[in-house]
Amino acid sequence: MTEQIETAMQHEIENLDWMSPATKTEALRKLHAIRNKIGYPDRWRDYSALEVKPNDYAGNVARSRRFEQARAWSKLGKPVDRNEWGMSPPTVNAYFNPQMNDINFPAGVLQPPLYDPKEDDAPNYGNTGATIGHELTHAFDDEGRQFDDKGNLRDWWTPVDAKGFEERIDCDRDQYAGYTIVDDIHINSKLTSGEDVADLGGTLLAYIAWKKQTEAQKLESIDGFTPDQRFFIGMAQWACGSERPENLRVSAITNPHSPNEFRINGVVSNMPEFQGAFSCKAGQPMVRANSCKVW
C-alpha cells in the first residue's frame, strides 16, 4: 500500500501545473529518499540496565528518567542512528520525521478497526491508506517542505514556486478559519495548516492509489454501500469521538490538529470524488464552491 501511495504522489508532483521543473526535480528526489518504517524497529532497545520495582512508582519514574538521559547523552559525537524509532510498536499513531526524512507506522496503528485484513481494499485504503498519505504529505507541507532529501534545513524552492505553494495553502487556511469549534472560537488555521494540508493530500493520494490498485477488478457494493462510499466511510471512521467543550477550548489554542469532525468534513468537501460517491449537489454543505488542492 505504501508503494502505491508513493507512486501516486510521484504522479501528482510530475503533473503539477504550478511548480517549475527545477523544484519538481528536488521534490521527487526527496520523495524517493523517504524511508518507510513499518511495524517495529529492526533492533530492539536494551532496557536491561533499567531497574523497575513493583512497589516503587516514584523510584521507577526517577530511574527511568536517568536511564533516558544517559541514553540521550550516549549519542553525543556519534553518527545519527537513522533506524531509531520515536514511538513504541504498540502506539496507535504515526508520524513523519523531517530531519530523518522517514515515515513511521507502528504496529498499533495497523490493527482493526483501523486496518483490517478481513475487509476489502476500499475502507482499508480510506483509513490506513489516507494515514500513509497523510504522513507522506507532511514531507511537503508548510514545515516539511523546508527540509531536503537528507533531512537538512534547506530552501530548495524557487521563489515563484514558494509563492504558488503559499497561495494554495492559504486556500486551506481560509477554509478552516471559518469553522467554529465551540461558542465563538474558530480554528486557528495558521496553527493547523500543516495537518489540514496533510489530511487533504493524504486522502486524495489514497483514493488515487486505491483506484489504480483495483482498476482491473470488478468491485461490488457491500452492505448497501458502493466501493467509493466504502472508501470514504473507512476514511471517516478513525475520527469517531467526542470531546468536552473545555477540552475543545484548550485544543483551539494548543493543538496543531483541527477537531476530528473538520478533519473529515473539511477534507471531503474539497473532493469531487466524495461528492460523486454520495450524489452531493452544488450549494449543499459538503460541496465547496472554491475547492482547495495543494498536492
What is the C-alpha to C-alpha distance for residues 98 and 82, in angstroms, rounded to an integer? 12
pTM: 0.92
Across the chain, which has 295 residues, the per-10-residue mean pLDDT values are: 96 96 98 97 94 97 97 94 94 96 97 95 97 97 96 97 96 96 94 96 98 95 97 95 93 95 96 97 93 93
Rounded CA separation 126/204 (Å): 9
What pLDDT does 30 receive?
Answer: 98
- What count of Cα atoms within 13 Å lies in the side-chain half-sphere of residue 113? 8
Active-site positions read: 135, 199
User: In whole angstroms, what is the distance from residue 9 CA to residue 128 CA?
Assistant: 16
DSSP string for 52-69: --TT-HHHHHHHHHHHHH
Residue that has been written with the C-alpha cell 521563489 in this structure: 159
Residue 179 CA from chain centroid, whole number: 21
The pLDDT tens digits for 99-145 are 999 999 999 999 999 999 999 999 999 999 999 999 999 999 999 99
Kindly report, residue by residue over 81-90, the tens digit of the pLDDT: 999 999 999 9
DSSP H helix total and E strand total for the chain = 11, 5
Domains and CATH numbers, the chain: 2-40+86-277 (3.40.390.10), 44-82 (no CATH)
Note if the bond before 113 is cis, omega within 30 degrees: yes
SS3 46: coil
